Amino acid sequence: MKRFLKIGIKQIPVLALFLGLNCSDKDLKNNMSEIDKHSFAIPSDAQVVHLDLNLKVDFITKILSGYVDLLVENKSHTNQLVLDSRDLSIEKVELDDKNQKPEFKLGDTIKYLGQALTIKITPETKKVRVYYHTSPQAAAIQWLDAKQTLGKRYPFMFTQSQAILARSWVPLQDAPAIKFTYNATISCPPNLMALMSAENDTLLHADGVYHFKQSKPIPSYLMALAVGNIGFKSLGKNCGIYSEPDMLQKASWEFANMGRMIQSAEELYGKYLWGRYDVLVLPPSFPFGGMENPCLTFATPTVIAGDRSLVSLVAHELAHSWSGNLVTNATWDDFWLNEGFTVYFEHRIMEKIYGKPYVDMLCKLEFDEMKKEISEMGDTSADTKLKLNLTGRDPDDGVTDIAYIKGCFFLKTIENAVGRDQWDSFLKNYFKTFAFKSITTERFLTYLNTELIKDNKHLQESIRVDDWVYKTGLPKNCPKVESSELLKSEIAAKEYLHPEKINTNDWTTHHWLHFMRCLPKKIRSEDLEKLDAAFKFTQSGNCEILCDWFQIAIVNDYEPAYKAMENYLCSVGRRKFVQPLYGKLLANGNTRDLAKRIYTKARPGYHTVTKATIDQMMENK
Ligand code: BES
Ligand code: ZN
């Protein structure tokens, strides 16, 4: 479903008029070409290079309030600073010396983008202080009541800024090409711990006041904050787990391999440059699997399966410490530079630790998921190109398997063509050359050409860069994927009427998923009952397995699973899981009303990201 803006975002001339600024047409054109389509900021004029945040966290009103000091580099001696904001109440603005109270204006609200906050500055202005508070509906923030947490005693809050939601909790330049350092002081109720995408303390502060420092330049989508009843458990000298106290033991067992992952990643592509690497396990309403907030990955508890079978998620988020957090996509049209490189890197970390047959399983599952998604999108859809065009749309529309899996397979194609050694040294240099910068797809391609492909006709032919990046669907030279492990599941699926004959002793989550995906589409209820009795799917504690199983149940009107499915939808808010379930429920005439009833009950517990997706599915039905 494509969503277009009704109003364009070329309102900068209007703002200029309003502020009585003199901006020639030529200036505007020059600027426009550099402006991120999803941000109002004009960094070529005035760019924020550092941010000092001072916020109070109020769980009663569900509001963050305080101020932010923005250090500005005024490149063109401009008299305006343009920031992004969404649902923020701006109380007052001060320049360097507090006596200067400049004019400021919030522009019209534009869908997805929010409002431009334009502040009159002088060519000499260094610091702009904005006093503000957030709305209880701030798109980035989820406020959880005590009953929505594991411990049930304390409330919890967390932010999710990617892609363009940071502007709903901090007025800033919300574009991935703009990087800044930050410090923060956060005050929260005593007994609660505050954590950010920065250097974190591991101990509770009795007064509820926490200080943070992120000394490396980061893009705004990596700003993150979480507050709750949180404990810490070390997993070695440079890594550890934060979570609600009752989850610490389980989570540390599950992620015991984190130290090895960091070491493997460093061996591959260079030193980890962010100090410590910790993971914060959030309550189950977290809308994503993981989020690579620097120094502190945010993760869903649904990867804690009890058997360490879903830990590739940690490898993925850790890999972002290079691909994404060091070298960042310059715009959301270049999103595959973040995710394609990260999936590739994730596979390499996993291969080092768990071996090739394991990674072949991941590859096969992902490749099949991508093929399914491409067939749903249509293989001539422009959204199947690596380089996207998200003009006028929510960048969230670009979060598909194209960026992740097609992106990864493009890089595997290059690896196959040039050989692993040469490719690895290219990648190591790539991360070094572009560290702490943001780049476009085109910049990457130029680098690839000069460093690797040069004028080698043979390489050009075997890689076919343009087909991968600028053409739809999957290129002819896409590497083939086979998994000897998953062959076991394919053979087993043929025996589904005789589950007692299937040997599942050494199966991991991946075998189970592939098994379910290889079953016939239509299965009689009594046969599902037999499978369920043999393998205890409905009672599974594994969220991945449950998600696939419930889809099979819905398509086949297998009602014995519905109660468990309802509980699942009311407790898990990870979009990847709930979206296909509502999709299947809505597509089946017998369960459409059930979908609506469950959603009414579950919706208040979901993060805005998940709500937005499911609301739209409900509207379209
Ligand atoms: N950065 C993404 C999550 C994201 C992408 C949030 C775009 C908002 C907009 C994160 O690294 C990610 O890819 N998470 C995946 C897990 C991963 C193992 C594929 C997820 O959440 O499912
Ligand atoms: Zn990712």
pLDDT in tens, 574-585: 999 999 999 999
Token pair for residue 346?
């994730």
What number does the ligand 1 atom closest to the CA of 339 have? 13
* Distance (Å) from CA 338 to ligand 1 centroid: 10
pLDDT bucket at 98, cuts 50 / 70 / 90: confident
Distance CA 421, CA 415 (A): 9
Task: Give me the pLDDT at residue 238, please.
Answer: 96
Calculate mean pLDDT across residues 432-461. Answer: 98
Distance CA 481, CA 460 (A): 22
Calculate mean pLDDT across residues 370-399. Answer: 98
Decide whether any atom of ligand 1 lies within 6 Å of the 293 Cβ.
Answer: no
Q: Is 317 a catalytic residue?
A: yes
**Model confidence over 403-438: pLDDT tens digits?**
999 999 999 999 999 999 999 999 999 999 999 999
HEC assignment per residue over 92-152: EEEECCCCCCCCEEECCCECCCEEEEEEECCCCCCEEEEEEECCCCCCCEEEECHHHCCCC
* Closest CA to ligand 1's atom 10: 291
Calculate mean pLDDT across residues 87-115. Answer: 96
Token pair for residue 449?
């050409």
Calculate mean pLDDT across residues 299-313. Answer: 98
Q: Is 277 a catalytic residue?
A: no
Residue 49 has pLDDT above 60, yes or no: yes
What pTM, to 2 d.p., does this model score?
0.95
pLDDT bucket at 97, cuts 50 / 70 / 90: confident
What number does the ligand 1 atom closest to the CA of 398 have? 7
> Are 314 and 297 within 8 A, CB to CB?
yes
* Closest CA to ligand 1's atom 6: 162
Token pair for residue 140?
């980035």
* Multiple choice CATH, 486-620, 3.40.50.300, 3.40.50.720, 1.25.40.320, 2.40.160.20: 1.25.40.320
Distance CA 164, CA 79 (A): 25
Token pair for residue 20?
């009585």
Q: What residue ranges do the domains of the chain occupy?
A: 17-134+163-219, 328-469, 486-620
Task: Give me the pLDDT at residue 25, please.
Answer: 40
Calculate mean pLDDT across residues 121-126. Answer: 97
Task: Please give the mean pLDDT across all residues of the chain.
Answer: 95
Which residues, in sequence order, are CB contacts of 378 under 8 Å at separation 6+? 384
**Model confidence over 170-203: pLDDT tens digits?**
999 999 999 999 999 999 999 999 999 999 999 9
Q: Would you say domain 328-469 falls under CATH 1.10.390.10?
A: yes
pLDDT bucket at 8, cuts 50 / 70 / 90: very low
Task: Give me the pLDDT at residue 621, please.
Answer: 79
Residue 13 has pLDDT above 50, yes or no: no
> Are 170 and 53 within 8 A, CB to CB?
yes
Which of these is catalytic: 244, 317, 366, 415? Answer: 317
Calculate mean pLDDT across residues 255-267. Answer: 98
What number does the ligand 1 atom closest to the CA of 399 have? 7
Decide whether any atom of ligand 1 lies within 6 Å of the 399 Cβ.
Answer: yes
* Closest CA to ligand 1's atom 11: 291
Q: Look up the CATH superfamily of 17-134+163-219.
A: tricorn interacting facor f3 domain (2.60.40.1730)
What number does the ligand 1 atom closest to the CA of 396 have? 9
Decide whether any atom of ligand 1 lies within 6 Å of the 222 Cβ.
Answer: no
Calculate mean pLDDT across residues 104-131. Answer: 98
**Which ligand has the shortest distance to the CA of 292?**
1
Decide whether any atom of ligand 1 lies within 6 Å of the 289 Cβ.
Answer: yes
> Are 283 and 156 within 8 A, CB to CB?
yes
Query: What distances in angstroms separate CA 57 from CA 182, 193, 294, 309, 549, one per listed residue?
Result: 18, 11, 21, 36, 40
Which of these is catalytic: 358, 404, 496, 562? Answer: 404
Decide whether any atom of ligand 1 lies within 6 Å of the 548 Cβ.
Answer: no
Decide whether any atom of ligand 1 lies within 6 Å of the 313 Cβ.
Answer: yes
Query: What distances in angstroms separate CA 553 from CA 125, 502, 565, one per listed residue?
Result: 62, 21, 9
Residue 31 has pLDDT above 90, yes or no: no
Peptide bond into 564 cis (omega under 30): no
What number does the ligand 1 atom closest to the CA of 300 have? 21
**Of 22-31, 361-370, 471-480, which gets the smallest average pLDDT?**
22-31
* Closest CA to ligand 1's atom 1: 291
* Closest CA to ligand 1's atom 20: 289
**Of 26-35, 151-160, 475-484, 514-523, which gets the smallest average pLDDT?**
26-35
Residues with CB under 5 A from ligand 2 (ion): 339, 342
**Which ligand has the shortest distance to the CA of 297?**
1
pLDDT bucket at 17, cuts 50 / 70 / 90: very low
Task: Give me the pLDDT at residue 14, please.
Answer: 38
Decide whether any atom of ligand 1 lies within 6 Å of the 288 Cβ.
Answer: yes
Task: Give me the pLDDT at residue 2, please.
Answer: 32
pLDDT bucket at 99, cuts 50 / 70 / 90: confident
